Structure 1
Amino acid sequence: MSGTVLKLCRPSKCIFNCTIIRSLSDSKNYTPPPPEHPVKRTLRILGNDVKTSLGFKKETPLFPHHCDVVIIGGGVIGSSIAYWLKQRTRDGLEVVVVERDPSYAQASTVLSCGGLCQQFTVPENVQMSLYGAEFLRNIKTHLSVPNHEAPDVRFTPCGYMFLASESSAEHLQEAYKLQKQLGVKTELLSPQQLKERCPWMNVDDVALASHGLENEGWIDPWSLLGAFKRKARSLGTTYVKAEAVAFEFRNMQDALVEGMPTGSYESLDRLLVKTDEGDIQPIKFGIAIIAAGASSGSVARLARIGTGRGALSVPLPVVLKKRYVYCFHCPEGPGLRAPCLMDSSGIYLRREGLAGNYIAGISPLPEEEPSVDNLEVDYSFFDNTVWPLLCHRVSQFEHLMVKSAWAGYCDFNEFDENAIIGPHPAYHNLYLATGFGGHSVQQSAAAGRAIMEMIIDGGFQTIDLTRFGFERLIKQEPLLEKNII
């Protein structure tokens, strides 16, 4: 053959295979290391054990300079992808996850509220969240690891309740019809029915309410992340504590790419990462996946996304946003049967525990966006914005007492506030899974499975997430979700 034709769209299974062969076997700069002899390996392990017993430091594991798939970001999305790839292929793929902060002190996952809800207006969001609930029901089957306790994400069942004003009631009815068609168990309540159900609520400006009856509530996001990560590692995933600082490219002289001059196509070849010691280490890969949460936009720029030509001229519009969560106490507040309230004003409210404690918050207006330089909490935002709205809906909250608060980051997609999932059209070996906003926890299982299907099967097999691809950014076709949580 005089050349290889690469069609830069949804990759097929054969493209996946070619990627691995080219990157790991045919590269002029790479010589596979000889396999370690079993006897030598046994002696090395015994030697380490002896050194440890004598007080010597254990041998440092070899840095993974080569892999089939490198995932940038070890949060709940990246760890879910690693799990799905390894549970499908086992030893057939070498998967490396690069995470700069394994403590996850400022990670979006662990600082979220861990909500589970299916009441969306975009079908794919409904389907992903429905699968998320199914996955969590069977989490012990999926993520249990021998010699460890079965995972427990502490699911608290408590349906979400969306309130609509006169102007948005029709939209709520349309969303209800879609959700019912997709299997979501919800009910519509009139103001009178709502008052009977929730006598503590002011319904004067409520025209309609939608209430989830099943599979909604919240979980402990830290437990879910830990379960995904532990299972992925047990299946052979390697986690590396380092920061992605650059990509290296490889010119593919024999590639014939539609719309590009012969010999001008470059693929991603190696990821350079910076370790705690300040060393720059290369990782040669077949496929790279950007799942770096709120840092995904900056990682994408390392791959020339947003600074190149053609499809590379469109940036990845995922940025860092800071959100406050306020915890307060009110003994006279709504009881244990109170739903997770999504008010027409934009505030959310749910109980926290069983002793009259609650959490609440609201997304600020664009002109009120807080600085992302730190995770400090602005308590005046609660006094001036959140509290008045809470008191309007629940009069008992006039006597609440704020006990604590925290701030968390989210990976905010400025284009349409929906996730970006799938291959990048300019590269045959780069995938994206980012921009989930506040939905990463509940959509992590479905998103990880979707990326696995794209890589292994060459296309979506369960939920068709084509509309969530990067192409919508190029075509300027936003996918708008009305029930943003």
Structure 2
Amino acid sequence: MKTAKNKVESFVERMQGIRELSNKILKSPYRDGIFPEHCDIVIIGGGAMGSSIAYWLKQRAPNAITVTVIEKDPSYAEASTCLSVGGLRQQFSLEENIKMSLFGAEFLRNINQHLSVEGHDPPDVQFTPCGYLFLASEKGAQQLEENAKLQKKLGAKNELLTPVKLKQKFPWINTDGIALGCHGLENEGWFDPWSLLYAFKRKALSLGVEYIDGEAIGFEFKKMPDLLMDGMEPGSYEGVDKVLVRTESGEIRSVKFGIVIIAAGPYSAKVARMARIGTGDGMLSIPLPVEPRKRYVFCINCKNGPGLNTPLTIDPSGTYFRREGLAGNYICGRSPLPEEEPSVDNLDVDHDFFDKNIWPVLASRVPAFEAVKVKNAWGGYYEYNTYDENGIVGPHPYYINMYIATGFSGHGIQHAPAVGRGVMEMILDGGFETIDLTRMSFDRLIMDRPLIEENIV
């Protein structure tokens, strides 16, 4: 079992490998040895979401467009991926999320067709198909049942379980306070998020995507007098056409673009403010409601704990756990209450949070967890959408050349394949062709139409 430190170090080594791969493909840090001062599309954020978008764009139009990705943390040591437990589920209450997860499962199942690179080992995300098990109290049972019906209608396979059936199927569980459970039977489980990010980035590089190791620190604005917009004086519109980048060496360079995509995870709002989003007038007065929230993941050992058939289990309290490997190890966590939100100044772990908020729930729900030992723990950042905890996908209503893909509040890694494809469709086809994500647009912030997901983990 890898420790939290080893987990990060292992990924840093893999990212160093991909940088070496990049240099091998490009023969230098940049393609043709030249800093990419202009491109058709620039993506700010090179994590799973940004790299997925880059892959889909170049896969669709390999020779027609140039794509550059700006990533400030090329080791991904503080990326949201670091926190992710790699869950994949269709147990959502919103149609869009269910459909994106169904496609995510299909994408992972056929990942070799999508992300293999000639001359390299095929991608392996180590998918473990043990399903999700949502547990509901009497208060939440009706909602869980309604969710299950919608999921089945859209093609997911699940099973509703009474307390008696829960005990028969999972004898290790204490069903006190549980009125109903829902177990995903297909296409649910967990995978290695590091490996998916690595595969996306490696494939994107092989298709010709340029990666800049640096931080976006501002935009340059351009008057566009011929563009008319409601509520604005003729000739007053200003657009964005350049992004300023501080490179790893500290040099300030600019990249001129035709289209910009903000996919910077928890730092997306910071990037948006550079474009006056949230500080301007009219449509620019509405901020991008995404901020970093620190979450903890704990790895525990329990010699007599649940066995191989253990699904990723979510208690009504929000506490979750899943098996990790075959040696009696489990990963667990829980989102804090609003008044418990920890500082995001660092990634230090509060071990008291486990003792006070997680362990009592685990021990109550699974009596075997009375005897556990915390082996490791780590912290990471969620890209938390403070408006409705759902992703924001699509064009910005003011900037005619800006798109957004952020705010997924914990399920971005599993939706990255579908969102990447959707953003590609918006740009190259002029609209969503496969999964309609229109309701997830920035416009819902202006019209105050939140998309509420009843099962957020």
- TM-score range, shorter-chain basis? over 0.9
2:19 maps to none
- 1:213-252 counterparts in 2 under 5 A? 213-252=185-224
Find the aligned partners of 2:250 and 2:181 in 1 and give their Cα distance. Answer: 55
* Structure 1 position 299 matched with structure 2 position 288: no
Superposition TM-score, scaled by structure 1 size: 0.87
Structure 1 position 277, deviation (Å): 1.9
Tell me if the contact between 2:83 and 2:295 (Cα under 8 Å) persists in the aligned partners.
no
Percent same amino acid at aligned positions? 62
Q: Does 1:271 align with 2:243?
A: yes
- Whether contact under 8 Å (1:323, 1:363) holds in the other structure is yes
Matched residue, 1:14: none
Deviation digits for residues 128-161 of structure 1 (CA, Å, limit 9, x no counterpart): 0100000001100000111111111011111100
State whether residues 83 and 296 of structure 2, in contact with CA within 8 Å, keep that contact through their aligned partners in structure 1: no
Q: CA–CA distance in 1 between the matches of 2:77 and 2:418?
A: 25
Q: Distance in 2 between matches of 1:192 and 1:117?
A: 24
1:200 and 1:95 mapped to 2: Cα distance?
51
Aligned to 2:380: 408
Give 3-state SS (helix, strand or coil) of 1:396's partner. helix
Counterpart in the other structure of 1:16: none
SS in 2 for 1:345: coil
**For 1:268-295, what per-residue CA distance to the aligned partner results, in whole angstroms no more than 9, with x for missing partners?**
1100111122211010000000000000
Which residue of 312, 321, 335 maps to 1:363?
335
- Equivalent position amino acid for 2:433 in 1: Q
Corresponding letter in the other structure for 1:189: L
**1:130 corresponds to:** 102
Q: Which residue of 2 aligns with 1:429?
A: 401
Q: Deviations over 1:184-243 (max 9, x none)?
A: 100100111111111111112110000000011111111100100011111110000110
For 1:425 and 1:239, locate their aligned partners in 2 and report how far apart those are by CA, in whole Å. 27
The residue identity in structure 2 corresponding to 1:65 is E
Deviation at 1:59, TM superposition (A): 11
1:72-97, CA deviations, whole angstroms, 9 ceiling, x for partnerless residues?
00000000000000001101101000
Matching residue of 1:170: 142
Partner of 2:21: none
1:19 counterpart residue number: none
**8 A Cα contact 2:304 2:328, kept in partner:** yes
Q: Could you say what secondary structure the match of 2:378 adopts?
A: strand
| 2: CA distance, partners of 1:306 / 1:451 | 23
Q: 2:113 aligns with which of 137, 141, 151?
A: 141
Amino acid paired to 2:310? A
Give the structure 2 partner of residue 351 of structure 1. 323
Per-residue deviation at 1:446?
Answer: 0.2
1:400-420, Cα deviation, whole Å (9 max, x unpaired): 111111111110000000000
The answer (yes or no) to whether the contact 1:419–1:434 under 8 Å persists in 2 is yes
Of 176, 186, 204, which aligns to 2:158? 186
**Partner secondary structure for residue 254 of structure 2:** strand
Q: Any idea what SS the aligned residue of 1:109 has?
A: helix
Instruction: Give matches, 1:440-451, under 5 Å.
Output: 440-451=412-423
AA of the residue aligned to 1:438:
G
SS of structure 2 residue aligned to 1:196? helix
Structure 1 residues 455 and 375: alpha-carbon distance in aligned structure 2, compared to 1, 3 A threshold: same
Rounded Cα–Cα distance in structure 2 between residues aligned with 1:277 and 1:199: 57
* Partners of 1:353 and 1:458 in 2: CA distance: 44
Contact 1:109 1:440 (8 Å CA) reproduced? no
The answer to whether 1:472 aligns with 2:439 is: no
Give the Å deviation of 1:259: 2.9
Match in the other structure for 1:15 = none
- One of 80, 100, 105 as aligned partner of 2:77: 105
Counterpart for residue 458 of structure 1: 430
8 A Cα contact 1:162 1:341, kept in partner: yes
- Give me the whole-angstrom Cα distance separating, in 1, the residues matched to 2:311 and 2:166: 11
String of CA shifts for 1:425-483, please: whole Å, max 9, x gaps.
00100000000121111100000000000000000000000000001111111100011
Aligned residues of 1:187 and 1:213 also touching (Cα < 8 A): yes
Name the counterpart of 1:324.
Answer: 296
After superposition, the Cα gap between the structure-2 partners of 1:59 and 1:372, relative to the gap in structure 1 and judged at 3 Å, is closer
Equivalent residue number for residue 9 of structure 2:
none
CA shift, 1:58, in A, is 11
Give the RMSD, CA atoms, in angstroms: 1.6
Return closer, same or farther for 1:474/1:139 CA change in 2, 3 Å cut-off: same
Matched, 1:280 2:252: yes
The corresponding residue for 1:68 is 40
Deviation at 1:355, TM superposition (A): 1.1
Q: Give the count of matched residue pairs.
A: 432
Q: Which residue of 1 aligns with 2:6?
A: none
Q: CA–CA distance in 2 between the matches of 1:403 and 1:277?
A: 38
Q: Distance in 1 between matches of 2:44 and 2:129?
A: 33
Alignment of 1:391-402 (within 5 A): 391-402=363-374
2:170 maps to 198
Hey, what does 1:26 align to over in structure 2? none
In structure 2, distance between residues paired with 1:281 and 1:438: 33
- Is the 1:421–1:434 Cα contact (8 Å) retained in structure 2? yes
Partner of 2:283 in structure 1?
Answer: 311
C-alpha displacement of 1:100 = 0.8
Q: CA deviation at 1:258?
A: 2.9
Asked whether the equivalents of residues 293 and 384 of structure 2 are also in contact (C-alpha less than 8 Å), the reply is: yes
| SS of residue paired to 1:323 | strand
Which residue is equivalent to 2:23?
none
Q: Distance in 2 between matches of 1:255 and 1:198?
A: 62
Distance (whole Å) between structure 1 residues aligned to residue 440 and residue 30 of structure 2? 46
User: In structure 1, what residue type is equivalent to 2:82?
Assistant: V
Structure 2: which 5+ residue stretches go unaligned? 1-25
Q: Displacement, 1:60?
A: 8.5
What are the superposed Cα offsets for residues 26-55 of structure 1, whole Å, 9 maximum, x if unpaired? xxxxxxxxxxxxxxxxxxxxxx99xx9xxx
Query: Could you say which residue in structure 2 is the equivalent of 1:22?
Result: none
TM-score by length of 2: 0.93
**What stretches of structure 1 of length at least 5 have no aligned partner?**
1-47
Query: What are the equivalent positions in structure 2 for 1:48-63 lying under 5 Å apart?
Result: 61-63=33-35
